[in-house]
Every structure is written in C-alpha cells, then in structure tokens.
C-alpha cells in the first residue's frame, strides 16, 4: 500500500439522488463476532445488489486495512462481475484514520492520515504489556493497525478454554494500565482509550464513528451524490455515534441496531430500529426484507 499525504483523486461517480446510502460497522454486523469472518455469504449478495443500484455503501470500522481487505473487500471483489460498481463502496477504517476508495476501473486507492499516529514508544510499551499474563491469555496486540493501537480478543480457537468473561475482567485491568501509560507519556489531551466488546483501542481523540460519517457524507457531496436517507448498522453503543452525527448534520437517517437493546437504554431511540435476530443474522434479515420491498 502506498501512503499518501493527500487523498487519492475522487472518481467521477454518476451524480444523482440514490434512495439510500448505507453505513456498516463490521464486527458483529457483517461478520460473526466470534468467528471474525463473514459466515453468511448472502450478505455479500445484498451488498452487491445495492452497489448495482448505484447506492453508496461505507464500511465504518475500527478494523485495519489488512482486515477489511481480507475479510470483506477482496471476497466482495471476486463476486462482482462489473468492477465499475466498486466506485460506490468506501472503506473508512481505523475509525477514520485510513480511507479506502475505488477508481472507475475498480482499482483500490488508499490514504493514511499520518498526523494522528500513536507514538512508537507508546506502541512498544503496549505491545510488551499485551504479551504478558493475564492479558496474553485472552487478547493479543494487533500489528496491522497503522494509526491507532488495538489489543484484541483472541480468536475462539486460541482461547484454550478461557471464557469471554475472563477477557472482560482482563480488559478492565488493561484499561487501568493504559491510562497509566497515557499519563506517563503526557498524551491524555490527544489520545483516549476506547474499550469495546472485542478490543481495547488507544486512539487519537479526533477519530471515531462520527468522523467516519462526516468523511462519507463529504465524499458523496464532492461527487454530487445526495441520498434521500442514510441507514447505519451497528451492534454496540459506539455505533450510536453514527446516528447522532447524522442528526447533527441535519440529514435524514436511522440506526439499524443488531446488538442487545439494553446497551442503548439511556439513548434517544426515536431513530433506532431493533432487529429481531441479532448481530450478522439481524443485518442479513433486515437487508433481505428491504430488498423484497424495492
């Protein structure tokens, strides 16, 4: 991948007003949260149907470029007959620190924001911390991240009988250690700790799901594309930021929530749709029902 200080040239997507623009978190929305891969191939079919209708699709995730390519984009590319429609999909990864787009020929272009990278000495200390028990027993340091630091839940087959509850207990202790490190490096004003269901991130304070929404909206406006509505899909409390940002921008939108409703108990739910099935199965169910109504 070529790093760039400026974003790649925007492809000349057809101007228009598509019915819907789609925003997807990845973990637990398009992938099985434990298997960490797409276990329902029909999800790819649903994404392709939307791309063929010239409806823009964004992957708004904290995952790395390597993960998003391996798990979502490369398998999707293999299923698409007309590479031209890839210009309608965007990857907003590392919570906005890395950007993926496609040109008119279906060639992928990438951009890395070098200005928000975590310092190397901080990364080294977190890497060493994650390699020691009790953290190493349920989590690992993600070497694929370019702008942020992530200590992630081990794959199911590497947990050696340890439970998710043990990961959560270790995660709470990890957050305390990470706060100590940020303080030691005098980085509290520019970086924050963001624990989620599957990982603990140390990230620049400017990144997040809201930034991903702004980047997506900006990219569409640059191309003269103004969707009638935005639908964002999420499974955790942090995904609610997508809906909040759409409201702040004055754009019509909803959050399709495939997680447990309890996580949003203190939120305004007027623009939230809860699916009957959960996680990736809930996403598939919603998309298939939406396709039938088109």
- Cα diameter, the chain: 55
pLDDT at 45 over 90: yes
Write the secondary structure of 23-81 as one string of H (helix), E (strand) and C (coil): EECCECCCECCCCCCCCCCHHHHHHHHHHHCCCCEEEECCCCHHHHHHHHHHHHHHHCC
pLDDT at 21: 98
pLDDT at 2 (0 to 100): 46
> Which residue has tokens 């998309």?
287
pLDDT of residue 11: 47
Sequence-distant (≥ 6) Cβ neighbours of residue 106 within 8 angstroms: 77, 80, 83, 84, 86, 87
Distance CA 28, CA 25 (A): 8
In the predicted structure, residue 15 carries a pLDDT above the cut 80: no
Q: What is the pLDDT of residues 77-114, one digit of tens each?
A: 999 999 999 999 999 999 999 999 999 999 999 999 99
Residue 229 pLDDT class (50, 70, 90 cuts): very high
Give the CATH superfamily of 20-114+207-288: HAD superfamily/HAD-like (3.40.50.1000)
pLDDT band at 3 (very low <50, low <70, confident <90, very high): low
In the chain, what are the domain boundaries? 20-114+207-288, 116-204
Q: Residue 177's CB: how many other CB atoms inside 10 A?
A: 16
**Residue 4 predicted with pLDDT over 60:** no
How sure is the predictor about 208, in pLDDT bands with cuts at 50, 70 and 90?
A: very high
Per residue in 62-74, pLDDT (tens digit) is 999 999 999 999 9
Question: Taking the CA of residue 64 as centre, how many other CA atoms within 13 Å lie in the half-sphere pointing to its CB?
Answer: 18
Give the strand pairing for 89-93 and 98-102: antiparallel
């Amino acid at each position: 991948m070529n790093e760039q200080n400026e974003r790649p040239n925007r492809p000349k997507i057809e101007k228009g007003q598509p019915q819907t623009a789609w925003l997807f978190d990845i973990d637990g929305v398009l992938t099985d949260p434990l298997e960490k891969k797409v276990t329902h191939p029909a999800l790819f079919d649903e994404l392709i149907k939307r791309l063929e209708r010239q409806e823009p699709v964004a992957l708004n995730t904290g995952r790395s470029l390597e993960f998003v390519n391996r798990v979502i984009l490369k398998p999707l590319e293999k299923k698409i007959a007309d590479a031209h429609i890839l210009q309608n999909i965007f990857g907003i990864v590392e919570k906005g620190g890395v950007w993926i787009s496609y040109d008119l020929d279906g060639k992928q272009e990438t951009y890395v924001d070098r200005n928000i990278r975590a310092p190397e000495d901080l990364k080294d200390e977190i890497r060493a911390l994650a390699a020691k028990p009790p953290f190493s027993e349920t989590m690992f340091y993600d070497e694929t991240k370019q702008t942020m630091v992530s200590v992630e839940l081990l794959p199911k087959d590497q947990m050696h009988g340890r439970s998710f509850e043990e990961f959560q207990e270790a995660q709470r202790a990890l957050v305390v250690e990470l706060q100590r490190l940020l303080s030691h490096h005098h980085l509290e004003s520019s970086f924050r700790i963001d624990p989620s269901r599957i990982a603990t991130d140390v990230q620049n304070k400017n990144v997040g799901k809201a930034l991903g929404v702004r980047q997506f909206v900006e990219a569409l406006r640059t191309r003269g594309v103004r969707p009638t509505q935005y639908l964002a899909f999420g499974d955790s409390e942090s995904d609610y930021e997508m809906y909040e940002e759409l409201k702040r921008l004055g754009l019509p939108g909803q959050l399709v929530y495939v997680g447990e409703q309890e996580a949003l108990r203190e939120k305004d739910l007027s623009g939230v749709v809860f699916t009957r099935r959960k996680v990736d199965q809930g996403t598939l169910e919603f998309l298939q029902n939406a396709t039938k109504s088109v």
